[in-house]
Amino acid sequence: MKGKVLITEQVSQKGIDFLIDKGYEIVFPKGKDEDSLIEAAKDCEAILVRILPISKKLIDSCPNLKVIAKHGVGVDNIDLEACRAKGIKVVNTPGANSRSVAEYTMALILSCAKQIPKMASAYKNGNLKAKDSTSFVEISGKTLGVLGLGKIGREVANMASKGFGMKVLVYDPFIKSLDLDFTLVEDKDEIFKEADYISIHSPLTEDTRHSVGKREFDLMKETAYLVNCSRGPIINEDELIEALKNKKIAGAGLDVTEKEPLDPSSELFKLENVIVTNHIAATTKEAMDEMVLRAARGLDDVLESREPEYLIK
């Protein structure tokens, strides 16, 4: 037996089988709270995590820990500074869920345009007149603004442009030129002013936290929709709720929120012009299989002293 690997949350069996075949002992926590994670991880050499927080306290309590593998892309739930201080490597799985999240993003855009949840609910409740008082639009020919042109943002832009004939504006402060059929803008305000749909695909950092709020909503068209399948705290949720209540924007499609799971009493559940789901964009069978396999390979590479394909510097 090589060593212990803590898997913090439910993952595809393919990844578990891969690690068992490699000779690792798999450990699961008894709960999702920090104390349960600490108890389960204390003798582990590796942690494979989805979205639960990996705190400094947890990291400091694991003397044998050598690597943390993120089942996904964003590593904002891992204390990277604590990892660097202790020489613990962090790997992730960029690209493994790109298509899944991009498809879900387009599904939210279409659902907003066609008012699908509202119409399905009205029909189910016998309200046949709802269609006469609801506005539906086509997305072909409309403008999509993409914030962040990583692997997922690029997939969304391609689907929107090539699949639906949308005009695509892109803002990404790390990209200076573009070899694609999209328009790269230097000022993100242009995205908020011009786009009919805005899709967020930026990582959560101190610079992007609450980077979309009242100022940006005031710039948007009253007919525009905001879609977020990235990280909830990028949007100032209180200010979004006010914008939705006051019809400053037409609506929003959210797969992520500031607090997850979202408080059942949240205003977001009460507003008709919001579609909100519980961080499921990446949970297709294909993406779940690929993410856990890449994460498992990455941690195995580190423990076997090989250079992992995706290492967070």
Active site residue 294: no
Q: What confidence category does residue 228 fall into, taking pLDDT thresholds of 50, 70 and 90?
A: very high
Region 13-36 average pLDDT: 97
Residue 76 in this model has a pLDDT that exceeds 80: yes
CA 122, CA 128: separation in Å to the nearest integer? Answer: 7
Which segments of the chain are extended strands (E)? 4-7, 25-27, 46-49, 67-70, 89-91, 143-147, 167-171, 183-184, 197-200, 225-228, 251-254, 274-276
Asked if 152 and 169 touch (Cβ cutoff 8 Å), the reply is no
Region 240-262 average pLDDT: 97
User: Out of 99, 279, 294, 297, which one is annotated catalytic?
Assistant: 279
**Tell me, which fold does domain 4-96+285-303 have in CATH?**
Rossmann fold (3.40.50)
Q: In this predicted structure, what is the pLDDT of residue 177? A: 85
- The superfamily (CATH) of domain 98-276 is NAD(P)-binding Rossmann-like Domain (3.40.50.720)
Residue 220 in this model has a pLDDT that exceeds 90: yes
Q: In this predicted structure, what is the pLDDT of residue 78? A: 98
Q: In this predicted structure, what is the pLDDT of residue 182? A: 93
CA 75, CA 282: separation in Å to the nearest integer? Answer: 15
Active site residue 25: no
User: Out of 138, 260, 304, 309, which one is annotated catalytic?
Assistant: 260
Q: For the chain, where do the domains classified as CATH 3.40.50.720 start and end?
A: 4-96+285-303, 98-276
Active site residue 210: no
pTM of the model: 0.92
CA 198, CA 182: separation in Å to the nearest integer? Answer: 14
Residue 137 in this model has a pLDDT that exceeds 80: yes
Three-state DSSP state, 247: coil
Region 79-87 average pLDDT: 97
Question: What letter represents residue 294's amino acid?
Answer: R
Region 193-213 average pLDDT: 97
Q: What confidence category does residue 202 fall into, taking pLDDT thresholds of 50, 70 and 90?
A: very high
Region 168-180 average pLDDT: 90
Residue 154 in this model has a pLDDT that exceeds 80: yes
What percent of the chain is predicted at pLDDT more than 90?
97
Strand partners, 197: 144, 225
Omega before 261 within 30 of 0, i.e. cis: yes
User: Out of 71, 154, 231, 294, which one is annotated catalytic?
Assistant: 231
Q: In this predicted structure, what is the pLDDT of residue 132? A: 93
Region 54-63 average pLDDT: 98
Region 115-122 average pLDDT: 96
